[in-house]
């Protein structure tokens, strides 16, 4: 590609709409443009990256024996009624009516449609195992679309669905997908971890997520410092407290805390440790009203665990300031279990506190010396907290360390959840109708370029792994306009590189070398060649690697072969 012909839409200034580095760089390098909240256009350079990601995913899915299909983005409500999700799915599901007033949704995922295909088309157990996948546009009306294509409303997903007759078959199909995913992320060239996950709204039993490690990641992942344990923090069970409830030592008293709006301010004012306080949070109940959840002041509420509290409204929703005031007679900063007439659950670590501090359910006041049983009945204790670094892993093998991750893939063993609900069965050897054992497997195709940039960038711009770079090589001729020799040599080299199957961006614009260098670095092309008069005199070309700035002079007549083998080794790393 000649740069003069490319819609190169780089920006000099940092766009103000971007909060994280990948979003900023994707806008600055001209990969994407925002149309509306959570809706992005992919410009040529960006779309090339998306295509490369999709090609790797497609190859590995095919290699694992999955078959590509495409299902409609718009889905009829009847199928969602059958699975029960028409009513369960919250406002993330964008619903619409056609001209005949029939209800539809824009697919956020495709379990219903693919189960419908399976129940119509699969006639015999001999056709199994079967795995169908698609690379297709999804829509989820996210509460907070942000970070550009990282959490957008419209995005491209690869979703695959496996069908088996029994649990053993499902386990095999699942293992195949697990291994295909490992190959995909290794080939793309990212540092990733596979972690145990919560099956969430999709349902089912076993589930694992693939996370690209990056500080800006929205998820916390917990892993063992010395063992194999790795799980999304939201699913890690907390060990029970080591202490038991002690007898009261202090009398309960009400203290004025006019300036304490946070736990830290409260601790400072009363001179107590946050581990001696409790936080009380109100969430909405399914039947209306609120439920109170109590955790220790130094602990964080785990929302996945909280979603298992009986009677809670799903998805979990915190009560608004007004609802809190109505239910408790005070604002969120002054809540506590004493005198609170609401269903209440307490985290096991807060249930063993004696002489603790809590809100008084009166604005500007707290209670000191509170004791369970004596001052307030001890509510049912549950595991409601996030585990912390340094605690023992659930398998007892090492201590927990926590890193940030970006979820790029998710695999589930669904079991018969959808096949039973939608009566999708297949006759077994004896002719008995058996519901399919299903698995589903997603990859965020359009999230991957953003995740890759979060992991691979420097102060000058993007540093693409070669496997997904929009171009593999950038060829920068010096003084093209003035030097016939350079022009001819550069044109010849451009043709030779292209003929060797190397994807090269040839900067034939009449711009200053400084501009060429800066833009090539911003858009992150992994390999750079600079051709000038001086090099021609010596029959050599200057090579520079984007990743680490390593430089080399390469004989001009060998550079194509040399680059070809360099790129081949990069791309074939896990291909064998
Ligand atoms: P998240 O927790 O990030 O919302 P999810 O658990 O809802 O993800 P899945 O339903 O498992 O996601 O979808 C499969 C994959 O699709 C995810 O692993 C992620 O890579 C991608 N994905 C999900 N939501 C979005 C989004 N709003 N924008 C871009 N990619 C997304
Ligand atoms: Mg989601």
- For residue range 556-575, list pLDDT tens digits in order: 999 999 999 999 999 976 65
In angstroms, the CA 517 to CA 552 distance is 16
Protein residue with its CA nearest to atom 6 in ligand 1: 410
The set of residues, in sequence order, having a beta carbon less than 8 Å from that of 419 and lying 6+ positions away, is 115, 118, 119, 425, 435, 436, 437, 438
Q: Which atom of ligand 1 is nearest to the CA of 153?
A: 27
Judged against a pLDDT cut of 90, whether residue 130 lies above it is answered with yes
Q: Report long-range pairs for 107-110 (Cβ below 8 Å, ≥24 apart).
A: 107/71, 107/72, 107/73, 107/74, 107/75, 107/136, 107/138, 107/139, 108/138, 108/139, 108/140, 109/138, 109/157, 109/159, 109/202, 109/440, 109/442, 110/71, 110/75, 110/134, 110/136, 110/159, 110/161
Q: What angle do CA 53, 29, 189 make, to 5 degrees?
A: 30
Q: What are phi and psi of 508, to 5 degrees?
A: -100, 20
The set of residues, in sequence order, having a beta carbon less than 8 Å from that of 121 and lying 6+ positions away, is none
Protein residue with its CA nearest to atom 16 in ligand 1: 444
Q: How remote is the CA of residue 388 from the centroid of ligand 2, in Å?
A: 24
Judged against a pLDDT cut of 60, whether residue 526 lies above it is answered with yes
Protein residue with its CA nearest to atom 2 in ligand 1: 407
Residue 92 and residue 142 in contact, taking contact as beta carbons nearer than 8 Å: yes
Locus of tokens 């946050």? 274
Helix (H), strand (E) at residue 445: none
Q: Which atom of ligand 1 is nearest to the CA of 159?
A: 14
Task: Using alpha carbons, select from 173, 183, 134 the residue that is nearest to residue 439.
Answer: 173
Cα→Cα distances 200→208, 235, 305, 315, 411, Å: 11, 10, 11, 10, 12
- Probe residue for ligand 1, chosen from 106, 110, 157, 451 as the CB with the greatest number of ligand atoms within 8 Å: 157
Q: Which atom of ligand 1 is nearest to the CA of 140?
A: 27
Beta bridge partners of 347: 382
Closest ligand to Cα 108:
1
Q: How remote is the CA of residue 165 from the centroid of ligand 1, in Å?
A: 28
How confident is the model at residue 462, as a pLDDT? 98
Cα→Cα distances 49→43, 46, 295, 426, Å: 10, 5, 45, 40
In angstroms, the CA 195 to CA 407 distance is 10
Ligand 1 pocket, residues with Cβ under 6 angstroms: 109, 140, 142, 151-152, 155, 157, 200, 407-410, 442, 444, 446-447
Structure-block tokens of residue 428: 């077994």
Supply the mean pLDDT for the chain: 95
Predicted confidence band of residue 199 (pLDDT cuts 50, 70, 90): low
How confident is the model at residue 259, as a pLDDT? 84
Protein residue with its CA nearest to atom 29 in ligand 1: 151
Q: How remote is the CA of residue 228 from the centroid of ligand 2, in Å?
A: 26
Structure-block tokens of residue 401: 């360390």
Q: How remote is the CA of residue 259 from the centroid of ligand 2, in Å?
A: 37
pTM over 0.85: yes
Judged against a pLDDT cut of 60, whether residue 37 lies above it is answered with yes
Closest ligand to Cα 304:
1
Radius of gyration in angstroms for the set of CA atoms belonging to the chain, rounded to a whole number: 29
Protein residue with its CA nearest to atom 25 in ligand 1: 151
Q: Which of 121-130, 145-154, 200-209, 290-299 has the lowest mean pLDDT?
A: 200-209
């Amino acid at each position: 590609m000649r740069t003069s012909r490319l819609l190169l839409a780089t920006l000099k200034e940092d766009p103000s709409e971007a909060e994280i580095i990948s979003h900023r760089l994707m806008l600055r390098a001209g990969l994407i443009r925002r149309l509306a909240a959570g809706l992005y256009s992919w410009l040529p350079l960006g779309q090339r990256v998306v295509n490369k990601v999709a090609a790797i995913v497609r190859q590995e899915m095919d290699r694992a024996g999955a078959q590509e299909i495409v299902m409609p983005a718009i889905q009829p409500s009847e199928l969602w009624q059958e699975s029960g999700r028409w009513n369960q799915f919250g406002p993330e599901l964008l619903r619409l009516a056609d001209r005949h007033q029939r209800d539809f949704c824009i697919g956020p995922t495709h379990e219903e449609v693919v189960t419908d295909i399976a129940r119509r088309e699969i006639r015999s157990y001999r056709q199994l195992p079967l795995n169908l996948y698609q690379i297709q546009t999804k829509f989820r009306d996210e509460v907070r679309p942000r970070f550009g294509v990282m959490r957008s409303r419209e995005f491209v997903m690869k979703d695959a669905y496996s069908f088996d007759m029994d649990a053993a078959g499902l386990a095999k199909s699942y293992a195949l997908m697990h291994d295909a995913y490992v190959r995909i992320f290794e080939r793309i060239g990212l540092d990733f971890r596979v972690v145990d996950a919560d099956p969430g709204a999709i349902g089912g039993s076993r589930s694992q997520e693939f996370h690209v490690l990056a500080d800006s990641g929205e998820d916390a992942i917990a892993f063992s410092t010395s063992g194999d344990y790795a799980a999304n923090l939201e699913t890690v069970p907390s060990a029970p407290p080591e202490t038991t409830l002690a007898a009261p030592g202090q009398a309960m008293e009400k203290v004025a805390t006019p300036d304490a709006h946070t736990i830290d301010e409260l601790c400072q004012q009363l001179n107590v440790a946050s581990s001696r306080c409790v936080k009380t949070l109100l969430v909405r109940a399914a039947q209306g009203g609120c439920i109170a959840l109590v955790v220790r002041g130094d602990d964080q509420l785990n929302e996945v665990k909280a979603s298992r509290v009986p009677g809670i409204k799903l998805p979990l929703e915190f009560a608004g300031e007004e609802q809190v005031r109505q239910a408790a007679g005070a604002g969120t900063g002054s809540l506590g279990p004493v005198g609170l007439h609401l269903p209440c659950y307490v985290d096991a670590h807060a249930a063993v506190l004696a002489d603790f501090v809590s809100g008084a359910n009166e604005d500007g006041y707290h209670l000191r010396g509170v004791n369970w049983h004596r001052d307030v009945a001890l509510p049912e204790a549950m595991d409601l907290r996030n585990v912390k670094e340094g605690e023992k892993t659930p398998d007892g093998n090492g201590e927990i360390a926590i890193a940030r991750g970006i979820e790029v893939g998710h695999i589930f063993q669904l079991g018969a959840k959808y096949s039973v609900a939608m009566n999708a069965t297949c006759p077994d050897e004896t002719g008995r109708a058996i519901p399919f054992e299903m698995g589903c497997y997603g990859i965020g195709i359009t999230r991957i370029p953003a995740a890759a940039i979060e992991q691979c960038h420097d102060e000058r711009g993007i540093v693409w792994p070669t496997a997904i770079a929009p171009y593999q090589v950038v060829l920068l001729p010096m003084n093209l306009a003035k030097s016939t020799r350079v022009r001819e040599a550069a044109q010849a080299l451009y043709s030779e590189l292209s003929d060797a199957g190397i994807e090269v961006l040839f900067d034939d614009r009449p711009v200053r070398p400084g501009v060429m260098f800066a833009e090539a670095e911003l858009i992150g092309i992994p390999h750079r060649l600079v051709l000038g008069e001086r090099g021609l005199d010596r029959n050599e070309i200057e090579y520079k690697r984007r990743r680490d700035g390593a430089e080399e002079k390469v004989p001009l007549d060998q550079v194509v072969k040399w680059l070809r083998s360099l790129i081949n080794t990069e791309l074939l790393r896990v291909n064998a």
